[in-house]
């Protein structure tokens, strides 16, 4: 088949010698080593963040001799400490190159902590991951990065991304420009005992179009909720009289069996993984690390509140879609078949709802049996398809439950189930309304 020849020379008692002859073209010379980075970024400070020693060795070898000042952090926690120390010394890192799959503090949580710290918020980040949907996860979490690369990292791709990241304006500028003028709808209960923090947060919330009612401790928050209606709660974790954890636990006990679930977003000064799990165990749905920027506050609230109604949007179904779905994902589906866009969207969404129903059946079986593996598998399947239709908030919640299921952490997993069901309810209602508006 390859116009070659195979021969054998065999001698009894001595063995056999096989010969293969093939006519092959000359191969290409290997690509030359990447050149040092451009002079306009040479000497800039980089921090590589990865908790796997072998990966660290590879990354440091790829960056050696390229004219960059590179330091190494072996965990996300260590990276935050080094980044803060660098700022204090007046020599901040221009760029972090961070693994997204780390044990003590994940890459996503590391970026959240950076964006929430006013001194570090402008730090550029190149993310790398083995997860095929990491770009979607970052987008769904409202986290802007300079680049998202896939493992295994190619040296040429890494150096090109570094040069591009260090040659452009700070990454948060585009996020700020995009968020400028955007508004949300709803009424927020802000539970915060620090008066200066309360004043600043109220101003931020009112600026993005929200009505605000305040409480100075957890007990006051419960008293407000007993007499007033709000759409979401921003709950400081550390408050006198009754802290945010206890207040949220009491709220969830009161909701038990009622079918109601009020979203609670934790305000925490700690970005550590254990603190986030404590928030989930108390029944909190999301969290925001202090100190936080206006952009970070908007991003987390946008996962729970609908956007301000535009004049062109009148139907209730449209409001549900705006609250639960990323319109850009539906636009991408429409672009695949310009002449039959509505028919394709209808087909995709109907298939998604049918498949999601089956995954929920699997999920409920996993809950009944206490089967963490089955829960993880169902969450994984729902996560992937949800990203495809723009249900990024739902996909992000599935991702968290999938990881907890893989790790066999049933208690924090179960603490997230109510929030997952609430988000699914919004997605299902939005898609059902949208299907009703599409031509048959």
199-240 pLDDT, tens digit each: 888 888 988 889 999 999 999 999 999 998 899 999 999 899
In which band, very low, low, confident or very high, does the pLDDT at 244 lie, cut at 50, 70 and 90?
A: very high
Question: CA nearest 289: which of 304, 302, 300, 280?
Answer: 300
pLDDT above 50 for 313 = no
- Any idea what the Cα angle at residue 209 is, between residues 309 and 112, rounded to 5°? 105
Write the CA distances from 337 to 331, 345, 384, 431, integer angstroms.
10, 9, 22, 20
Q: What is the enclosing helix (H) or strand (E) of 244?
A: helix 244-255
Q: Where are the domains positioned within the chain?
A: 45-177, 187-302, 316-437
The residue count of the chain comes to 440
pLDDT above 60 for 257 = yes
> Which pLDDT does position 32 carry in this prediction?
46
Name the superfamily (CATH) of residues 187-302: Response regulator (3.40.50.2300)
**Identical fold at 187-302 and 316-437?**
no
> Which pLDDT does position 221 carry in this prediction?
96
* Architecture per CATH, 45-177: 3-Layer(aba) Sandwich (3.40)
In this predicted model, what pLDDT tens digit does every residue of 153-201 receive, in sequence order?
Answer: 888 888 888 887 877 544 343 344 344 456 788 899 999 998 877 888 8
Task: Report the share of the chain in percent with pLDDT over 70.
Answer: 85
> Which pLDDT does position 405 carry in this prediction?
92
DSSP-assigned states of every residue in 200-230: HHHHHHHHTT-EEEEESSHHHHHHHHHH---
**Would you identify the CATH topology of the domain 316-437?**
1.20.120
> Which pLDDT does position 12 carry in this prediction?
77
How much is the average pLDDT of 36-63?
80
How much is the average pLDDT of 241-270?
87
Model-wide pTM > 0.75 = no
C-alpha span between 27 and 76 (Å, rounded): 43
C-alpha span between 116 and 291 (Å, rounded): 6
């Amino acid at each position: 088949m390859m116009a070659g020849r195979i021969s054998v020379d065999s001698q009894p008692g001595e063995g056999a010698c096989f010969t293969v002859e093939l006519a092959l073209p000359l191969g290409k010379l290997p690509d030359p080593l990447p050149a040092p980075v451009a002079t306009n970024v040479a000497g800039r400070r980089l921090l590589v963040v990865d908790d796997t020693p072998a990966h660290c060795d590879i990354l440091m070898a790829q960056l050696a001799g390229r004219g960059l000042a590179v330091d190494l952090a072996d965990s996300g926690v260590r990276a935050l400490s080094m980044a803060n120390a660098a700022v204090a010394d007046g020599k901040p890192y221009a760029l972090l190159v961070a693994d997204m799959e780390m044990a003590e503090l994940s890459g996503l949580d590391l970026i959240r902590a950076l964006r929430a710290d006013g001194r570090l918020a402008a730090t550029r980040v190149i993310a790398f991951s083995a997860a095929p949907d990491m770009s979607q996860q970052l987008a769904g979490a409202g986290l802007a990065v300079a680049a998202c690369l896939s493992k295994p990292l190619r040296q040429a791709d890494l150096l090109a991304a570094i040069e591009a990241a260090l040659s452009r304006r700070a990454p948060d500028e585009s996020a700020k420009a995009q968020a400028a003028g955007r508004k949300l709808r709803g009424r927020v209960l802000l539970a915060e005992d620090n008066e200066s923090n309360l004043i600043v947060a109220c101003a931020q919330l009112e600026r993005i179009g929200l009505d605000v009612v305040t409480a100075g401790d957890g007990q006051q928050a419960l008293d407000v909720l007993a007499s007033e209606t709000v759409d979401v709660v921003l709950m400081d974790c550390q408050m006198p009289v009754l802290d945010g954890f206890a207040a949220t636990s009491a709220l969830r006990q009161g909701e038990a069996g009622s079918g109601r679930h009020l979203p609670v977003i934790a305000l925490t000064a700690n970005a550590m993984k254990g603190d986030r799990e404590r928030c989930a165990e108390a029944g909190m749905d999301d969290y925001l690390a202090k100190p936080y920027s206006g952009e970070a506050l908007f991003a987390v609230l946008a996962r729970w509140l609908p956007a301000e109604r535009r004049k062109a949007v009148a139907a209730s179904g449209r409001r549900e879609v705006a609250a639960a779905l990323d319109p850009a994902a539906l636009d991408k589906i429409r672009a695949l078949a310009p002449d039959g866009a509505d028919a394709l969207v209808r087909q995709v969404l109907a298939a998604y709802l049918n498949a999601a129903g089956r995954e929920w059946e699997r999920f409920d079986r996993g809950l009944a049996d206490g089967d963490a593996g089955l829960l993880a598998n169902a969450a994984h399947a729902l996560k992937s398809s949800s990203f495809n239709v723009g249900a990024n908030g739902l996909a992000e919640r599935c991702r968290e439950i999938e990881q907890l299921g893989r790790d066999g952490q049933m208690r924090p997993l179960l603490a997230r189930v109510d929030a997952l069901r609430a988000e699914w309810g919004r997605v299902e209602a939005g898609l059902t309304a949208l299907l009703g508006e599409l031509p048959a």
